[in-house]
Chains A and B, each alone.
Chain A
Amino acid sequence: MNTQITLTEDQQDCLQELMNIAYGSATAAISSILDAFATLSVPQISVIDTHSLKSHLLDNIKVENSHFISSQTLNGKIAGECLFVIGEQSSINMAKEFGFENDEITQNELCDVILEITNILSSATISKLADEMGTAVSFSPPHIHILNSIENFDNQYLDKYQKVIIIKTQLNFENQNINAELLILTTDDSIVFIRDMLDRIIEEF
């Protein structure tokens, strides 16, 4: 395993720029699908040790007590997982954004909406990022968990990886009070790939 899994300041800057572009396209996609103006905050990028992932999530995700976590596996050169974390009230507001009336919103509908938005966000951002890096990503169907605390977040295979790149952003809708976090976690091999690609892009400029 590569022991030098870190990103230099240049590489991090470059990734930040690529993510800005990718998030811009995701925002456009959401706006056109939902006919609502959404914004994604400037993504924050960090590379952390896998064993501190849980505490990182605990510290960084500010959601109400009960929240939904949906995850979607990314396959290809950029492999890993997209995590979308949203509180209950925000998800209800989001369902309204999807055209549901109050009495139509059931737990299943909420889950469907969350899965949909996860898919939209991860597809739009990662596809764009992959495109910039001259590769493609295949998406597995997203899954959803209802968590009462991050402590319940279970990943017994976490030890397989040394580092994860965390790309964190906040999704806001103009007319609705919706707060959610999108995290993109990538695996060791992907970090190496991303790093090499970043180097190539940096050279080209």
Chain B
Amino acid sequence: MKELMQSARQFAIPTLAAFLLGGAVASALAAEHTIRQKGKVFSAGELAIKKGDTVVFLNDDNITHNVLSITPGNDFNLGAIGPGNSTPVTFTRVAVVDIICAIHPGMKLQVKVAE
């Protein structure tokens, strides 16, 4: 029994370490993209990213914005975010995600998430 436990411990610790290290490497490889909102315009109309990348929505405008995904299955609503705030959104699946500002629907962004 003692040997079994010892063996399990020897297996579990390296496994956990490898698992978490793998996650850290994947995280380190993921890119971060910033989308600004100054002048009621997203700083890009289209954004091509890879699965696992993060898009940071930075409100550098002088009014409140409400970033909202309108793509079913990739829904998110950042809520009303005032000037001088940023929120990261990580996309974990391959998808094409249409994003607007709920307040200012003329602000449109399409995020294309690839493998």
Whether both chains belong to one complex is answered with no
Measured CB to CB, the residues of A under 8 A from B are none
